[in-house]
């Protein structure tokens, strides 16, 4: 396991480089809180954005971001940066941003895109940022997809890794913040084993007589719950630690009747529901430093990320997977909406017409044909109840809005099918009162 001491040593050895547990200065002091009435708690915009900035080979993203004009995908990155500049989140989680231990890609994204005006939008600076190691592309040494061989390259390698990825860190995530991060209190759960979760929904091989036997006992000895990582990142606002609980559970698809990804998605979401619950429900949890237990009672938190599950049970996930955390008694769901999502659902039709959920809540524009999921609500910002919601929304402009050029409609000429991403930025403005438990 990676010790906190070792992560702390990384700060000294890498200087301002970004790595797991490393807080880096990106050339600016912490920005003041969002404007608020005199004497009232500061308003802080928490946001999650699956930016679809993954690449096909290790180091490719960092190389692409070295210059803003020499790669075909740079236009998509500039559009992502413009969305961030226009909505100006104070604390931002970016999903599908390839991890590199030196933090080169994250620094270049800040320096060459966020710090540069995009089409007249004001530049934005994040003095604090962290990238997190991911289980994607980390070889397990086992035949996890049960195709008779251990994959050595490409999709076969990804299928047999602890999380799908063709190289270590693909599809990773990072946190950018205008507020200080309590680095010593960051908790990572990358190595937590799925079988150590009581009542885990371990997948069953329908071709074998026993229960929960898709993975062998030897595989379960090492198999990790998190397809990327689960991290608890305390951000200090108004003297109070607000714990950003960040993750990106696996899509509940790309498997078979055993539903190994669907069951994993369910339990990856359940992890946070258990973590914020006091007593025996969270007692089993241990972090990568070997410390047991969940979040300290009374702590302020915000669950953020692409959960790959729709709270209305649209799509292919296990029913109730998202509601484990969305409907948790300690969580407040602001239900961010957009008019653009409603318009897209009406124009695209298809499977969207069969959905039970309110299309105004959708956050991702997926394929709408037979067998497809359609547009779904999969990206969430879920604050704990002591944090008061001021405003919320999803950046999905209607087609008549000039800013719709940043989200657009499906176009195969784009790498991700869209001018920026097939996901939309979700944000919630919160009033953060001072005081409360410390970061630990």
Residues 234-257: pLDDT tens digits?
999 999 999 999 999 999 999 999
Instruction: Give the pLDDT score at 69.
Output: 84
Question: Given a cut of 90, is residue 144 above it in pLDDT?
Answer: yes
Distances (CA, A) of 242 to 205, 346, 407, 438: 41, 38, 30, 9
pLDDT tens digit sequence for 2-43: 333 233 222 222 223 333 333 333 333 444 545 555 567 889
Q: How many CB atoms lie within 10 A of CB 319?
A: 9
Global confidence as pTM: 0.93
Task: Give the pair of three-digit tokens for residue 268.
Answer: 């990856």
pLDDT at residue 125 greater than cutoff 60: yes
Tokens at 132, concatenated = 């997190």
Q: Where are the domains of the chain?
A: 4-134+169-431
pLDDT of residue 39: 63
Indicate the fold that domain 4-134+169-431 takes in CATH: Deoxyribonuclease I; Chain A (3.60.10)
Q: What is the mean pLDDT of the chain?
A: 91
Identify the band that residue 386 occupies on the pLDDT scale cut at 50, 70 and 90. Answer: confident
**Residue 336 tokens, joined:** 């961010």
Tell me how far apart the alpha carbons of residues 340 and 328 are, in angstroms, rounded to a whole number. Answer: 28
């Amino acid at each position: 396991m990676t010790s906190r001491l070792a992560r702390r040593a990384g700060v000294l050895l890498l200087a301002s480089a970004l790595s797991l547990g490393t807080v880096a200065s990106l050339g600016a002091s912490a920005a003041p809180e969002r404007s608020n009435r005199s004497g009232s708690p500061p308003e802080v915009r928490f946001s999650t954005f699956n930016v679809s900035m993954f690449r096909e080979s290790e180091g490719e993203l960092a190389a692409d971001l070295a210059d803003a004009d020499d790669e075909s995908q740079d236009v998509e990155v500039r559009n992502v940066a413009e969305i961030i500049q226009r909505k100006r989140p104070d604390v931002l989680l970016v999903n599908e941003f390839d991890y590199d231990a030196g933090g080169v890609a994250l620094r270049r994204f800040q320096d060459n895109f966020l710090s540069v005006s995009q089409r007249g939008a004001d530049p934005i600076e994040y003095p604090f940022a962290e990238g997190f190691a991911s289980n994607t592309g980390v070889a397990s040494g086992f035949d996890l997809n049960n195709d008779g061989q251990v994959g050595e390259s490409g999709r076969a390698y990804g299928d047999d890794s602890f999380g799908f990825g063709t190289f270590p860190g693909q599809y990773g995530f990072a946190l950018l913040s205008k507020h200080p991060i309590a680095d010593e209190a960051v908790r990572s759960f990358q190595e937590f084993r799925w079988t150590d979760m009581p009542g885990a929904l371990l997948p069953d091989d329908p071709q074998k007589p026993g229960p929960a036997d898709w993975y062998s006992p030897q595989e379960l000895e090492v198999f990790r719950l998190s397809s990327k990582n689960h991290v608890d990142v305390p951000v200090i606002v108004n003297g109070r630690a607000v714990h950003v609980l960040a993750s990106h559970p696996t899509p509940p698809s790309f498997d078979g009747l055993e539903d190994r990804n669907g069951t994993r998605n369910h339990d990856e979401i359940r992890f946070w529901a258990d973590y914020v619950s006091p007593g025996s429900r969270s007692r089993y949890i241990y972090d990568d430093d070997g410390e047991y237990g969940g979040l300290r009672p009374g702590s302020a938190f915000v669950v953020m990320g692409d959960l790959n599950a729709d709270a209305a049970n649209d799509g292919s996930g296990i029913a109730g997977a998202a509601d484990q955390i969305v409907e948790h008694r300690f969580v407040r769901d602001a239900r961010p909406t957009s008019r653009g999502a409603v318009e897209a659902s009406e124009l695209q039709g298809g499977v969207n017409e069969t959905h039970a959920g309110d299309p105004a809540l959708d956050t991702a524009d997926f394929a709408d044909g037979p067998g497809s999921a359609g547009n779904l609500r999969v990206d969430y910002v879920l604050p704990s109840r002591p944090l008061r919601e001021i405003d919320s929304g999803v950046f999905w402009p209607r087609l008549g809005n000039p800013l719709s050029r940043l989200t657009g409609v499906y176009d195969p000429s784009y790498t991700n099918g869209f001018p920026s991403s097939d996901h939309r930025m979700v944000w919630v403005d919160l009033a953060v009162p001072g005081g409360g438990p410390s970061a630990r």
